[in-house]
A = this chain, B = another copy of it.
């Protein structure tokens, strides 16, 4: 592996002059090595005295003080890194999507400022001192003690934190029609991963005396104008993993993500993670809400709609190199991407460089948690010939990410939601990477 670096990058070696400088003493060389970096600073530096190094301003002056920004922000050089709306995707920006820039993210944590957005009637910054959560039963026998909680009451209860992914059920939707949207931000960017903190919903239900046997379903209802309501099966809640969450990546939820309270339903599509959560009702049958009968359903080849198909099945995508990026040089590159499964841990990710004929296992980054993103990496030496880059994930339950051919054989071509097919990127001779469908 090291030989590759050395072969690919003669430009990394020192010039004969630089090596001479090194031998003449470190300080002189330092000035040389950083010459390119100090063009701006040099202009303001009095020349002449050879004992004064032409260092850049930041190596000589006094910088900004601590707490100059009590709440810090990214570098000004990163301002192009944004979540972005897909122009024309919807008619109203308040009922639309912004996509996370997966192509430029590292590791598994999504910075909260770049978390994808999906609003059904826009986002609000709700005063937490006025927000309430009601817990009731669809009739008295299903929940003995209906209660209304304020945020202080919720936040003093025993809490848990958990890292997990959230993916919109409509992520990668355009690819059903082979639209080949150009970048991974737009193909897969309705995906984020955070450490969420909150109270297990089961704790609240037990406090309220819910009948956990007859009460097989729970309705979650949001406080925003869309009146989002979703049914969650009690079996998921009883496992303890469904949270009434207020924390995200160490701080309070962001307004765009449901501040001050949202449901967290690990492994299940994002629409069930009801934002601005104001009510939980225990019932004995699914609620058949608008967003689980008309939307977020799968039109099958026989003309029927599949409902309540909320588990986000095993999936992966290479985030770099990916569509819209340009590989500038042949030689060594690191291929990196994300894998996840709503059923548990990712067990394996294979990468193919030849359109799916040969596969090689990628390295999985720890901690590789259940229902959480897992970062994978593999090495790649590009000889400047066209290459098709693909990744294929396998989860701990044995589910394998399907090809488009295999997925369409079962689901047909008229779906919008729940596309977990293998993504293909074509790296062309000119270094440009494009979205293609293969197999």
Please report A residues at the B interface, Cβ cutoff 8 Å.
Answer: 1-2, 5-6, 9, 12-14, 18-19, 22-23, 26, 29-30, 33-34, 36-40, 56, 58-78, 81-85, 92-94, 96-98, 104-115, 117-119, 121-132, 134, 136, 140, 145-149, 153, 156-163, 195-197, 203, 206-207, 223-225, 227, 246-247, 249-256, 259-260, 276, 278-279, 281, 332-334, 336, 365-367, 369, 375, 377, 379
Please report the C-alpha to C-alpha distance between residue A13 and residue B147 in the assembled complex, in whole angstroms: 5
Expressed in whole angstroms, the minimum distance between the Cβ of A51 and any Cβ of chain B is 16
* CB within 8 Å for A125 and B75 given contacts A62-B94, A132-B37, A161-B365: yes
Q: A67-B98, A72-B112, A85-B66 are in contact. Are A250 and B105 (CB under 8 A)?
A: yes
- Residues from chain B with a CB closer than 8 A to the CB of A56 are 126, 130, 223
With both beta carbons as reference points, the residue of chain B lying nearest to A124 in the complex is identified as B58
Interchain CA distance A197-B207 in the complex, whole Å: 42
Residues on B with beta carbons closer than 8 Å to the beta carbon of A153:
9, 12
Closest-by-CB residue of B relative to A203 is B2
17 more contacts with CB within 8 A, not counting A76-B125, A106-B247, A159-B334, are A12-B147, A12-B153, A14-B145, A30-B134, A63-B122, A66-B98, A66-B117, A67-B82, A67-B84, A73-B113, A77-B127, A105-B250, A105-B251, A156-B333, A156-B334, A158-B379, A367-B367
CB neighbours (8 Å) of A136 from chain B are: 22, 26, 29
Task: Please tell me if the beta carbons of B111 and A251 are within 8 angstroms of each other in the complex.
Answer: yes
B106 in contact with A59 (CB, 8 Å)? no
Taking the nearest CB of chain B, how far is it from the CB of A8, in angstroms? 9
Q: How far is the CA of A249 from the CA of B192 in the complex (A)?
A: 12
Q: Are B71 and A123 in contact (CB under 8 A)?
A: no
Chain B minimum-CB-distance residue to A59: B223
**Contact partner, A251, options B6, B29, B34, B106, Cβ 8 Å:** B106
Q: Which chain B residues lie closer than 8 Å to A73 at the CB level?
A: 71, 113, 254
